[in-house]
Structure 1
């Protein structure tokens, strides 16, 4: 190697060092309320994304010390390992009942449950409906991926008509298995339901709308007017037998036909006026 070639290499290395050493503006970082550990979720699963949104909101609202979450049984059973807030584990399906006890004992805390369709809509449907009917001042975050993810893909109450699962290998037959249960539409008419919405996180706009819905629900707890339910259309690459990209298309083309996104029950105008004054 000639002296000239060595000089050129030195110049390049010096430029690289200068670039690396320059201070950069931080435009994004994960929230401090999200514990810095690897998550156990399958690649492409929306659970990790929704966890991040929740923790971003709690950090932005500066309510980390005032928030209590209730973890379910299901894929998100280890939510307490990722959320740096007070968390309580509930028995299978009983998250809304546990949250009721916490909120009644600590009425000034922000209390939310995080549940999948098996936990909330199957074994826990009684606790869910009665908590909402009573108007418990809690937030229920409902992840609907239309399948039992943790236990190898059995049919869920929300499994789509014709959708194949390990317990409906020929596809869900409404004559045998009944129809997919639309939880949000089911509970919205209850007098204790204050805010009910269904959102999705399969694209950037959906992520933004979901975050806004969750922010609204946390804020509405201050009014103590009833239960908020935010349903999020989820996915399950492993049990749907799809790639994450294929799941995104399936959510858009199939899931949203049965579970259309949008607000289902909104607060009254006078209640929102009271929120601004609170």
Structure 2
């Protein structure tokens, strides 16, 4: 078989997503962010929305999303991505608008912005990366840090009497009137991003896609050990699956 035969469309098994550019990623080896970037790039390309997609990323590990996805992107102040996405979508309702936020940004600094945007039913998608830690700034405890989980700011483990309990933002979002599609998936089983994007384009309301992920650097583990820890500890507390789906009724 010649090289020309191998690259024929009928022989193609897999290729790099067209909208994922060639810039070297700054993420730590084994980080989940690169995987999710790839999935987003594939979905946007499949939908034919490359020219109309607008991603909004705030401060945190996701801040350089614009450097890897070949779509229009806008940076937001810490926690304010849903507010900026709201403005973009209202000004350009034909655009596919989504935010890309970590758990510290979305569930702490941006709690109010997130809840009110979802409750208003803004036709945007919020992609929520939950690795239960502040990854960029030193591995501090986040609102989603599990009870007993050790971080740089709770080195003996999270204690509810001192630090409170982990915040389940996706469960909260499912109770809001403005949300149409709320789901929790993982980097191993994400299959909901396209549905959320389609929901926003069909003006059915807000969508939240939580992606339970790893931060092997912050967790002080190898990538392989981090994936195993995620399965054994994160999944039981943050179970995967759809929490709300009213898209068939709207």
- When the two structures are superposed, what TM-score results if normalisation uses the length of structure 1? 0.86
Alignment of 1:233 with 2:233, yes or no, is no
Find 1:119's aligned residue among 95, 100, 105: 105
Match of 2:19 among 30, 33, 40: 33
Q: Does the residue aligned with 1:44 lie in a helix, a strand or coil? A: coil
Task: Give the one of 98, 114, 126 matched to 1:128.
Answer: 114
Partner residue in 1 for 2:196 = 217
What do residues 50-99 of structure 1 show as CA deviations (whole Å, max 9, x unaligned)?
Answer: 00000000111110001100012101110000010010000000000000
Gaps of 5+ in 1: 1-18, 272-278
User: Are 1:253 and 2:249 counterparts?
Assistant: no
Contact conserved, 2:128 with 2:209, CA < 8 A, in 1? yes
- Pick from 61, 64, 70 the counterpart of residue 84 of structure 1: 70
Is 1:55 aligned to 2:41, yes or no?
yes
Q: Is the 8 A contact 2:132 2:142 kept in 1?
A: yes
The alpha carbon displacement at 1:21 in A equals 4.4
Q: Distance in 2 between matches of 1:197 and 1:123?
A: 22
- The whole-number CA distance in structure 2 between the counterparts of 1:268 and 1:139 is 14
Q: How many angstroms apart in 2 are the aligned matches of 1:268 and 1:259? A: 23
Question: What displacement does 1:268 show?
Answer: 4.7
Pairing 1:23–2:5 present: yes
How is 1:142-221 mapped onto 2 (pairs within 5 angstroms)?
142-202=128-188, 206=189, 210=190, 212-221=191-200
- The alpha-carbon deviation at position 36 of structure 1 amounts to 1.2
> In 1, are the aligned partners of 2:214 and 2:230 still within 8 Å (CA)?
yes
The answer to which structure has the higher helix fraction is 1
Q: TM-score, normalised by structure 2?
A: 0.96
1:72 aligns with 2:61: no
How many angstroms does 1:223 deviate by?
A: 2.3
Q: Cα–Cα, structure 1 residues 21 and 30, in superposed 2: closer, same or farther, change >3 Å?
A: closer
Specify the SS of the correspondent of 1:43: coil
Q: Secondary structure at the match of 2:61?
A: coil
Report the RMSD for the aligned CA atoms in angstroms: 1.1
Cα distance in 2 between the residues matched to 1:112 and 1:268: 18
- 1:33–1:268 CA distance, 2 compared to 1 (3 A): closer
Structure 2 unpaired stretches of 5+? none
Give, in angstroms, the shift of residue 107 of structure 1: 0.8
Higher gyration radius (CA)? 1
Q: 2:85 aligns with which of 95, 99, 107?
A: 99
Q: Distance in 1 between matches of 2:122 and 2:14?
A: 35
Poorly superposed stretches of 4+, deviation over 4 Å: 19-22
